[in-house]
Amino acid sequence: IRLDCDGDVIVLQITQKGGVACHTGRESCFYRVLTPEGWQIVDAVKKDPEAIYGSAAQHTHSHTDTTAVNEAIDVLAHLGRIVQERKNADPSSSYVASLYHKGLNKILEKVGEEAFETVLAAKDASENDTQDLIYETADLWFHAIVMLGQFNVPPQAVLDELSRRFDLSGLVEKASREQ
């Protein structure tokens, strides 16, 4: 057993038997590495988690949800970085650069257009047909990230604000803004 310099992390060196130590069915819980594109899974599943924990593997489900959230955050952060990089690019080389070159009013026009298209897609959607809704929402989010980039606001700032609102009644939050 080892303790780090700050006294806030311990490392246990063990001899592993059975080949699987992680509830995901992998040899280790450390199966992802950070690359410029985000977190990449580098180790294969060695044993099906259902075979280990049974069909009611709630812990595995929770992990899957957390992984999906982390990957979504990585996508938004990566997109935010790309948008920022293209702010000063040649407008003829990039759609994003051309939007920034045309200025805030053009960016806001695109956000409004995509919001309207998203509303129309939602009106036409059904439980079994949501592809257009997903497509239009992706366009809306993309253009909203471009808009945020105009003010050098990373997507993480919006995620932080949403996180702040957890455990806060929407009615209470709205009332606090009206005062």
pLDDT tens, position by position, 154-179 = 998 998 888 888 777 777 767 777 76
CATH architecture of 69-167: Orthogonal Bundle (1.10)
pLDDT given for residue 20 in this prediction = 80
Q: Which of 156, 43, 106, 131 lies closest to 164, judged by CA?
A: 156
Angle made by CA atoms 33, 36, 40, in degrees to the nearest 5: 30
Q: Which residues of the chain have pLDDT under 70?
A: 52-73, 173, 179
Instruction: Record the tokens describing residue 7, joined without a space.
Output: 């006294």
- The distance from CA 91 to its chain's CA centroid, rounded to whole angstroms, is 28
pLDDT given for residue 150 in this prediction = 97
pLDDT given for residue 68 in this prediction = 53
The single-letter DSSP state of residue 2 is E
pLDDT given for residue 86 in this prediction = 94
Instruction: Record the tokens describing residue 147, joined without a space.
Output: 């808009």
Where do the CATH 1.10.287.1080 domains begin and end in the chain? 69-167
